[in-house]
Amino acid sequence: MFLGCCICGKMTEISKANKKYIIESEEFTCSLNCVKGWIKSNDKYDSVGKVASEMLHNVYAYPRHSGSIRYRSEYENRVAYFVSNILDITFGYEMHGFNLSTGTYTPDFWLRDFNVFFEVKGIITVGWRKKLKRFREEYPEVKLLFIPWILKDKFYNLPNLCGLRDVR
């Protein structure tokens, strides 16, 4: 299976073993640079950004953390480092929950200055796939990038955050 990068257009072959980490209908980014390109391609002043911004006032936002953030996985930790220290972009972690007709969904990262979200996941379950599909249907204006797990080596090659050991 080949997937085209939504930013640079390059085709990447996804091995059979890695297929389970991919949702074919999602925008695919082939590199960290293209993840950056995707963020910058979402102009915070365009109408989509404004709509998303207005929508955030209609969903619930709740404080999840007092003090330092504890990520759910080392992978999230690496993505957080990338966004914060490499891209120098401020983010909120699990800050906005969206009401869905079937429950709620809280994206992992909200890059507030660009009004976009990141979802970071390894294995993709059937339930998760359904939830993301529901979110896309009910919030088509909200920009969310599903970070492909197959980029994990690139994230893991970044320096450590908070002195955590490399868990690979």
Binding site for Zn ion (CB under 5 A): 5, 7-8, 10, 30, 34
Closer residue to Zn ion in complex, CB, 30/80: 30
CB of 160 to Zn ion, least distance (A): 26
CB of 148 to Zn ion, least distance (A): 11
CB of 82 to Zn ion, least distance (A): 16
- Dist. CA 134–CA 156, nearest whole Å: 30
Closer residue to Zn ion in complex, CB, 10/20: 10
Strand order of the β-sheet with 144-147 is: 92-93, 109-111, 116-120, 144-147
Name which of 68, 75, 37 is nearest 153 in CA terms.
75
Closer residue to Zn ion in complex, CB, 40/130: 40
DSSP 110-157: EETTTTEEEEE-SS--HHHHHHHHHHHHH-TTS-EEEE-GGGHHHHHT
CB of 28 to Zn ion, least distance (A): 8
Using DSSP, state whether 37 is helix, strand or coil: helix
Residue with the CB atom nearest Zn ion in the bound state: 5
Closer residue to Zn ion in complex, CB, 30/144: 30
